[in-house]
Structure 1
Amino acid sequence: MTLPLSPDELLSTTRSVRKRLDLDRPVPFELIRECIEVALQAPSGGNRQTWHWIVVTDEAKRAAIGEYYARSYGAYRSERASRPVQSGRVAAQARVASSSDHLAEVMGRVPVLTIAAIEAPELPEGNQAGLWGSLLPAAWSYALAARARGLGTAWTTLHLPYEHEVADLLGVPAHVRQGVLLPTAYFTGETFRPAPREGVDSVLHHDSW
């Protein structure tokens, strides 16, 4: 069963869920399979479909990934603290920082950790849009499919400084590169609403900049 969401509602209310991930409610593996089946309909360069999905539910492996994530997040948090805060976004950035801190603390306890990866014996030099453009739309489709099934996800790449260690932990071959980590769980509370964004006219360029 999926939630009765219109396409626009699904697209505008799929949020990064951090504090509201339900750490105690098991997620049926069949639901994750359904999300990946939807994701496999996404476009890929040349329709090659060289993506792979590593779904981690083993408690010890989730805990180990959580430790790598927390280690990487600690370095990121220190760097973030040195950045100037954008004018008018102090409260919003504080909320994001607080929820990010929480996710780093509990990552290893999230019921399902899904890693989207792609075959890439060598990363291309220069522009890598073609490579990652063949994976990331599918990963976002996974997040949308999860939202439609009452699950929350968070899009993060902060584990990637330890990509090789995570690959060793999970037996991922060297020619498969990880692109994004999607912690997945039921969410607490009611539902989600569209987030405040800059007006379209501040970012829309018609025919020229």
Structure 2
Amino acid sequence: MAAEADPPAPHRPAMTAEEVLTTTRSVRRRLDLDRPVALDTVRECLEIALQAPSGSNAQRWRFVVVTDAERRAAIGATYRKACAAYLDSPAAAGSLFADDPEQAQVQQRVHASITYLAERMDRVPVLVIPCLRLPQAGALPAGNQAGLWGSLLPAAWSYMLAARTRGLATAWTTLHLTYEREIADVLGLPDDVRQGALIPTAHHTGSTFRPAPRRPLDEVLHVDGWRHADG
């Protein structure tokens, strides 16, 4: 069970928006698996997340916060099963960019960190599952999936940003959705609630957050139409 309150943290200077946005990333290896996270801190982050936009201001988001050890164990077992299939697939992080030696090394590190987290998901103190409550029970509506999930994902990302400002580390994953129904049964979710992500949340064991290397902007920027230089 999550602790009632975190001990007072040493004073940290206020972070700029740019610093928060450029240093919030998926943390897998440096999650503190032994230090509890206060539920009040998670609630603060979710209060901020609720300020995100949603289509027609419907606010159909729901957030399931899991701290119970038995439920975390069940989710962890299902996640490991889904992750094993992913890691053996051509889409796995370690299989990408094989023709680029420098990038391949990065991908191998990502692959190893995904494996590391999968083996320990049940030990992460807080698992946050952002969900959507659909207008009607049953299958997802056909058509504009971007509009549907665009009403949830900004709030989920805002949660991760808010956690970053409080010294917490998070990771974004959707691998568990291969077995979404199994997770729904563990948590007693009704049929009209669909899961959008799984966000393990813990204190950070490292001392720094820093920007990650990314492709140059000009490789991914298209102004007034599609450039064909990159094929």
Under a length normalisation based on structure 1, what TM-score does the superposition of the two structures give?
0.96
Does 1:169 find its partner at 2:186? Answer: yes
Report the equivalent of 1:102. 116
TM superposition shift of 1:85: 2.1
Superposed CA deviations along residues 1-21 of structure 1, whole A, max 9, x for unmatched, are 795211000000001000000
Q: Mean Cα displacement is larger for which, 40-49 or 157-166? A: 157-166
Identity %: 58
Distance in 2 of aligned mates of 1:196 and 1:82: 19
When structure 1 is superposed on structure 2, of 37-46 and 195-204 the one drifting more is: 195-204
**Which residue of the partner structure matches residue 93 of structure 1?**
107
Counterpart Cα distance in 1 of 2:58 and 2:154:
14
Q: 1:127 matched to which residue of 2? A: 144
CA–CA distance in 1 between the matches of 2:120 and 2:98? 26
Task: Determine which of 6, 11, 21 is the counterpart of 2:16.
Answer: 6
Question: Greater CA radius of gyration, 1 or 2?
Answer: 2
**TM alignment of 1:103-118, pairs within 5 A:** 103-118=117-132
**Matched ranges for 1:18-167 at <5 A:** 18-79=28-89, 80=92, 85-87=98-100, 88-120=102-134, 121=137, 122-167=139-184
Which ranges of 4 or more aligned residues in structure 1 deviate by more than 6 Å?
none
What displacement does 1:126 show?
Answer: 3.4
Amino acid at match of 1:114: V
**Cα offset for 1:207?**
1.2
| Separation of aligned partners in 1, 2:128 and 2:97 | 33
Note the C-alpha offset of 1:82. 5.9
Rounded Cα–Cα distance in structure 1 between residues aligned with 2:98 and 2:148: 32
More displaced 10-residue stretch of structure 1: 177-186 or 3-12: 3-12
> Aligned in 2, Cα 1:82/1:192: closer, same or farther, shift over 3 Å?
closer
For residues 67-95 of structure 1, what are the alpha-carbon distances to aligned partners after superposition, in whole Å with 9 as ceiling and x for unaligned?
A: 00000000000003666625141111011
Aligned residues: 209
| Higher RCO (C-alpha under 8 Å, 6+ residues apart) | 1
Change (3 A) 1:90 1:69: same
Q: In structure 1, what is the Cα distance between the partners aligned to 2:154 and 2:185?
A: 26
Shift of 1:161: 1.2
C-alpha distance in 2, partners of 1:185/1:104?
15
Q: For residue 43 of structure 1, report the CA deviation from its aligned partner.
A: 0.3
**Aligned-residue offset at 1:119:** 1.1
Distance change in 2, residues 1:46/1:20 (3 Å) = same
Contact 2:26/2:171, CA 8 A, preserved across alignment: yes
- 17-26 vs 157-166, which deviates more? 157-166
